Every structure is written in C-alpha cells, then in structure tokens.
Structure 1
C-alpha cells in the first residue's frame, strides 16, 4: 500500500490545465500531465483497501460504478509509488488495451467509487493512469508484439471504434487473423472523428492504429458493409463476424422548423470540424460557428464538446440547453457512495465559455418548442418553454437568437442499416437484443455484436470491456478454449 494515512495527509492533485484564454486559440490538448514526483505522491494516497470499489465495474441506479475493465488500480498505484514504472505499465496493460485513450476520454467512474472518497478526496486514478502510459511510450516499452503462431481462423470486425479495436486486438494476440472494416477513410471511429482534438489529439489514435497493424491486424477503410462489400461475402470469407458499429443513429427533435438551414446533429458538426483540422476541408455554413449565435440542444458530454468547438471557431455566443435541473454541489442522500457522484462541476468547455464569453453557457429545464427563420429559410430564432412548468404558461416562454443550432440529445442505438443487412433483431432503443453478455452471438450463426451496438451509447471503458469479452466469446466459439480469460 502507499503511505500510511496518505489519503488524509496528502492533498489530492490531478492533471492541471492550460489557461482557458490560451487554449481556445488552438486545438491542442488542454490538459497537462502530472510530473513524476507528483504522480508518485498521488499514488501514495491509495491504501490498497480490502474491497477496492474502484475496480468493481458495475451499474448502480443506471450509473457506472467503478472501472468496467477492472483495472488493477491499487496494484499499479503501489508500483508507481515505489518507482516501478515498467511493472506498473505491465499491470495496466493487462486489463486495458488502450490506456492512452481512457486516460483522456473516460469520465473516471473509478474515482467516484474510490474508498478514500468516502472520507476524503478520491485518489487521482485517471491522472496516474495517464502518467503511466505516457511514461511507457516515452521509454519505448509499448512495442509491437505479433503473435508467435497463427490459428488459421479468419475474423471480420465491423467498426474501428474502441470496442472494435479492443476486440480485434484481443483476437489477434492469440493468433487469429483479424480484418477490421471501417466505412470512414481513417480507423478510430469516434476516437478519430467524434471526439475533439483538444481531448484526444489524432496522432495519438494513429500511433495505436500503426501498432495494431504492425502486430498483424488488417484495416480496410472506405468499406461500407452492405454496400461496397456484401454481408454474404463476409460470412463466406470469415469464420466469424463481429459487429462493433457503435450507436450512430442520433436522436432528433420533431418540432416545427426542424428542416430549416443551420440546424444539424451534433456528431455531424464535430466530425466536420475534425475533418477540417485533419485535411483542411472547407467547413459548410451549417458546421461553422464563426461570428454566430450558437444554440446546443442537449446537456451531455457531446453537447459540451460542441460548446468548446464553437468557441474555438469564433462564435459570437453559445448557449447549451438541458432538460434537467442544475446538479447539486454535493452528493444527496439519493446518490450515496460508491455510486458515481452526480454533482455540479465546471468542465473544460464551461470554464472556457466563462473566461471567453463571460458566462457559463448552461441553461436548465429548457424545452425547445419552435424554430423561426428568415426569408431564405435559415434559422434565426428559437422559442422555448420549461420542462418544469406548464408549457402553455406564457411567462416561461422565451425567444433566443440562433444562427447555428446543434442537436445533441443522444443516440438511438445502431443505424437501421445494420439490422437490415445482417437480418438481426433490435429492441425499442435500437440495440442488438439477441447477443447476451455470455455468448455475444446474435440470432445469426457466427455473427456477434459488442460495444454500443449491443449495449447502447455508453462510456469508452464499457466499449473496451465489451470488445474484450466478445473476443473471448468468439475464441470459445471457434476454438473451444478459454484463451482470453483474465489471469
């Protein structure tokens, strides 16, 4: 364990951040990693408690508690504390295929369930994880490790997001031949085009893709399964097919004026922005926030990324609508430890909005009721009511200027085409319902599903865990052996 009483005697310190007024001028990562001495000191706060709730990875009251990939957190914390960095990396890599992604994009449910957080501040797990994987790459410990033998089995993975990459990585490690099909022009899924560069810089994604290629995984981009390649040809050419297509069908609003120009799904906006930065592609008017009044409908993380992107594009103003109320400053009795703490925070985009535009952009209990336009059919205004009061009450109605509206109210599961092409069943939320968490196999023989396509839109750590477990299930299906069970 770390220092005796370290969780009480050492103040919590996480990664610092670049100044908001400076970082909004570029698209580089906004966080600054812990230096070695700080990482070791923070690791000393971990007490290696008898029941490490940080690792449990479960769902309580619809929220994630602990680490879904069951990272061996107390073990690598202790190794960092004692300066055994390579050993810490080896323990981290044992359960997590891509710590360089999770240490940037995961909301750290492990910290929310950390036992130290019950009486003090939780251990800075995410920051320590980042320090370990950064050190591993800097020291050259992360190297290609192709399998020593091949099984002769061929597997197709459809989709190259976190679930698809984790699944492909696991299956390749034990010798299966894996081909990953991606309909976009670059692998990575949301890691590449959905998450802004200030959270995950794209060379970080490319670095991992290149490692996987050197280990023998084949990536085929610009392949839209069902169009450019038939489902039947995949079934004929591969011993198993795994659907890791994500939950790309966005939710929309069915209100008057939705068809006006200047109203777009949030993910289309974020993708266009990422492509503009990667390739210099010109931004269409509906994806450019410069000098515009921007409204983001939806209070989640995707909406927050839209806020940060709009600020960097030079928006005139930005407001984010949420249907729920403002979260409390501290846990309530209905949100006890070890549940993930549903408390108010000022995350990176909101801090930037306060510094650059003068106010937190979040508005609460807002119900968008109507879009108004100019003579050319472009949105100019929104009319809203309140989810908290009677919508017919004129006192709660409000008009908002809007030149660009981004809809970020979540996703409805996998796209319809996935179910049609593969002739598999879905539930009312658009998830593959036949694939359970034991076999991961759909109603079609040899066709499996994992990640958001099976689970619904969720955290990156759930996607990785689903990919790993689906790989284990496929391996058992093909070889009847437990090759991928955690040691």
Structure 2
C-alpha cells in the first residue's frame, strides 16, 4: 500500500493554517489544503505494514485506537499515491457516510494507531481523507443515488446528528421510507450547533443534508418528540423508531454563586453564537455577548477550546481556560504504548489564537473552582480558584487535594461551563418507557442496538454516552443494519 519505502523517503507534512491573528477576524475554516503532488507523497508514506492497525477501531485503556468505522485506509492511501482519486472516493464511501465531517473534526485515532507512528511520524490519514471527499464534490463525482427498490417499511429517526444521519442514509439505501425528526431549526445536531463554523463550515453540513434529501429522506425540523409529537403517535405511524437524540444533559458546577447572572453552559453559548451567525451574521444580537468582558472557560476538552475561539471572535477582553487535570507530557510515556491513543500535550486552534492575541497560553492546569463572586446587581464578576494535586484515596483511586495557600481570585464577567454531559435528557425516554443503564444512557442489548421496547432502537451518544463523531457514525450504521434485519428478516447492509 502506497510506496514500499515511502515512509523512509518522505517526512510527514500537514496542511498549513492562516495566521491566528488573521483568522480570528472571520468565522471561516482556516486550513490551507496541500497541493495534489504533496498529498500524493503523503499517500506514499503508507508503508504496506501487513497488519494495519489504523482501520481496526477498538477501545484500549478506555480510548479509541484505530478507526471505529473501519475505513479502508491503506487502500485509499495507495489509490491517492497512484492518482486514482475517483476510485479512492468509492473506497472511502464504502465505510464512511460523511468523510467531509470526520476529515475536519475527528481527532484521528487512526493516526494514533498508524504503524509508521510506532517509531516515527504517522501517515497524514485525516488530511488525505478530507482531500478525497472535497475533490469528489469539486469534480461533481458525488451526486444523489436513489434506492434501487422500496420495501414499503417506514422508519423514524429521532435526532439529526451524525448517528441519526448515518442511520437514515443506510436505511434509505436499503429501500425503507425514512423520516428524520429534529427539534432544532436546522438539520445536523451537534454538527450544526455543537461545533463552531471555523472548525466545520455549515455549508459543508447543508450540502450533505441536501444530498440526503434528494435521495429521498424526509427531514422535519422544530418538532420535539414527546412534546410536539407524542411518542404514541410516532410509534403508530412507523414500523421502527431509532433514537439518536444524543447525550445532551450538561454537567453542572454546583458551587457557591452558581445562581449569578453571566454563568452559562458552553453549549448554550456555542449554539446561540452559531444560530445568530447563520441567521443574520450576528446582526440580530441574539448571541451571548462577551465583548470587552473577562471570560473564564471551565473545562479542558474540545468544547472548552471551541468556547475560547468563539469568545475571541466575539471580542472578549481576556479568556482563561481552567483545567483540573495536570498538563499532559510532550511525548508518549512508557505507560501509554502504541497503539493506544497518544496522551500527549496538544495546543489546539483556540489556545493558539489566545496565545497569539494575549501573549500567554490561556490554560491553567491543576486548578479547581471554589466559588463564584458577584456584584451588587447579581452579576458574576470573579471566580475564586485553588490549585490542586492528585493523590490516592484509601480505595486506591485518585482524587484532587487542595494545596493550602494557593487560592486566587480571577476577574470573570462571563463564565462558560464546558464540563461534558451526563447522559440523554428525559421526557421522550420516560414516555416510551425506555430503560436506562447505570450511566443513565439508553440501555440496549450489546451489538443489537435494541431497547426494552419492541421496534425501538438507539444509537450514538444517547446509547454509548458522549463520544466522537466517528463513533456516532459507527453506531448509526450498525443500528441501521439491525433495524433492516428486524424489518426484513435479513440484511445486506
């Protein structure tokens, strides 16, 4: 696959990016694509390793290793190296319904498991994937493909995130009549409102949604199941129902002062910003303004990074990101061997921009929040923090222990909570009588995606908990296979 000695001859090269101080004035994607010649060379680095770990997704030490949707990575690397881009696109679409999404927002566990990366720099798999599908759209190779037969069976998909869209796409291919319900005003779920525009342009999402609609899928927005449409009505109209509503219940921070004005969940901040941007280029003022404010982001994950970058574009005065965990090492440690996901220090786009703009990395590690401090009008004006160290408790688990004398008061006119999610919301699940597991997610039979209610299936974050877009696509595809088998007695999906 690729050139047998390519990994010895060529160095890893990734696309460039617009300078942080230039890109913060716009909401557009900022990667500068590699030229075709350079992409061909990167494809050549795929080393014919015999047993590729990149395309066998599994969990090792609780983290993804390899591609969860089993992309045929060595095959399309080889095809790109040989200049067969259209054939590479066919291989890519065999396993991935939406490579234009994963090629932009996936953290690339495939690269973490790349054999070349065992003793050097991994193949630039993610960038090649994005280049293949982007070229497919540019060349007009990606067009609506209608189902060859119709079964007469009707399936409802609740939720239009990556799991719901992947499930709908697969079931439509199988000839079923598919309707996707979305409570928001746009189709896409977290692809639309959970990921900022500069990371995933919403035109890219809408382009794929339009394609799915042209292929026969029906999309219904502003309809919440269990509220606008009863669960009884839904089940009576469809032969099967697939729940793909996500794990959208945010984790809160119930410390003193939580009731103060100016403290918001990260997803509210990101959603309102993107919605206002799409509706009016921010002219309607319906977003949470941080102009000239000191912003504190609590949480160190991708959502926290997105909040940092969004706050900068909304002209905040300053931004600090608090993280209770320690800083990761600069290189892979002995206790984190290949092909595990490399737990190493990464400076993402939001931190890059904050560092360039304010002169310092916004992250503060090993820092816990003690309380919020308000002014006379009930608005947050500061946060009291304390430094911590992680120590073992009597049961052998690690817990944060406060360091005496390390308390600080940091100005904060806006606080954004990016602490993850605790599971799916109620309402619809309670009306359906759906059982939940010990983590409050929808309980389903392993690898069958069935719930305790006949004819009702679940997939994505609603079933597995908060996870990656690529895992959601995996879940949607697998659930579609089980639904097809349930409806038809067998399946070719």
Please classify the TM superposition score into its range, dividing by the shorter chain length. Answer: over 0.9
Q: CA deviation at 1:113?
A: 0.5
Q: Secondary structure at the match of 2:258?
A: coil
Q: CA deviation at 1:4?
A: 2.8
Cα 1:70/1:451, change in 2 over 3 Å: same
- 1: distance between equivalents of 2:136 and 2:445? 35
Q: Give 1:459's match in structure 2, choosing from 459, 463, 468.
A: 468
- 1: distance between equivalents of 2:147 and 2:381? 58
Q: CA deviation at 1:333?
A: 1.0
Q: Secondary structure at the match of 2:75?
A: helix
User: Cα deviation per residue 1:52-104 (whole Å; 9 max; x = unaligned)?
Assistant: 10011000001100000000000000000000000000000000000000000
Q: CA deviation at 1:392?
A: 6.1
Look up the match of 2:414: 404
Q: Secondary structure at the match of 1:468?
A: helix
Look up the match of 1:250: 250
Q: CA deviation at 1:416?
A: 1.9
The residue correspondences of 1:211-250 to structure 2 (distance < 5 A) are 211-250=211-250
Q: Give 1:472's match in structure 2, choosing from 473, 478, 481.
A: 481
Asked whether the 8 Å contact 1:295–1:402 carries over to 2, the reply is yes
- 1: distance between equivalents of 2:438 and 2:312? 36
Look up the match of 1:147: 147
**Runs of at least 5 residues in structure 2 that lack an aligned partner in the other structure:** 391-399
- 2: distance between equivalents of 1:393 and 1:51? 48
- 1: distance between equivalents of 2:309 and 2:228? 36
Q: Secondary structure at the match of 1:257?
A: coil
Given the two structures, how large is their TM-score scaled by the length of structure 1? Answer: 0.97
Look up the match of 1:47: 47
- 2: distance between equivalents of 1:234 and 1:48? 50
- 2: distance between equivalents of 1:362 and 1:257? 23
Q: CA deviation at 1:419?
A: 2.2
Q: Give 1:448's match in structure 2, choosing from 457, 460, 481.
A: 457
Look up the match of 2:397: none
Q: Secondary structure at the match of 1:273?
A: helix
Q: What is the root-mean-square deviation in Å for CA atoms of aligned residues?
A: 1.2
Q: CA deviation at 1:417?
A: 2.0
Look up the match of 1:204: 204
- 2: distance between equivalents of 1:418 and 1:288? 33
Asked whether the 8 Å contact 2:79–2:85 carries over to 1, the reply is yes
Look up the match of 1:16: 16
Q: Secondary structure at the match of 1:419?
A: helix
Q: Secondary structure at the match of 2:389?
A: coil
Q: Give 1:417's match in structure 2, choosing from 427, 431, 444.
A: 427
Look up the match of 1:194: 194
Q: CA deviation at 1:438?
A: 2.3
- 1: distance between equivalents of 2:402 and 2:244? 44
User: Post-superposition, which runs of at least 4 consecutive aligned residues in structure 1 deviate over 4 A?
Assistant: 389-394
Q: Secondary structure at the match of 1:54?
A: coil
| Deviation larger for 101-110 or 420-429 | 420-429
Asked whether the 8 Å contact 1:53–1:113 carries over to 2, the reply is yes
Cα 1:392/1:217, change in 2 over 3 Å: closer
Q: Secondary structure at the match of 2:249?
A: coil
- 2: distance between equivalents of 1:16 and 1:68? 27
The residue correspondences of 1:134-173 to structure 2 (distance < 5 A) are 134-173=134-173
How many residue pairs get matched? Answer: 482
Q: Secondary structure at the match of 1:332?
A: coil
Q: Secondary structure at the match of 1:53?
A: coil
Look up the match of 1:36: 36
Cα 1:284/1:395, change in 2 over 3 Å: farther
- 2: distance between equivalents of 1:392 and 1:106? 35
Given the two structures, how large is their TM-score scaled by the length of structure 2? Answer: 0.96
- 2: distance between equivalents of 1:98 and 1:48? 26
- 2: distance between equivalents of 1:200 and 1:121? 26
Q: Secondary structure at the match of 2:409?
A: strand
| Deviation larger for 29-38 or 269-278 | 29-38
Asked whether the 8 Å contact 1:273–1:283 carries over to 2, the reply is no
Q: Does 1:365 align with 2:366?
A: yes
| Deviation larger for 289-298 or 436-445 | 436-445
Asked whether the 8 Å contact 1:34–1:128 carries over to 2, the reply is no
- 2: distance between equivalents of 1:377 and 1:478? 56
Look up the match of 2:394: none
Q: Secondary structure at the match of 2:110?
A: helix
Q: CA deviation at 1:427?
A: 2.5
- 2: distance between equivalents of 1:214 and 1:193? 23
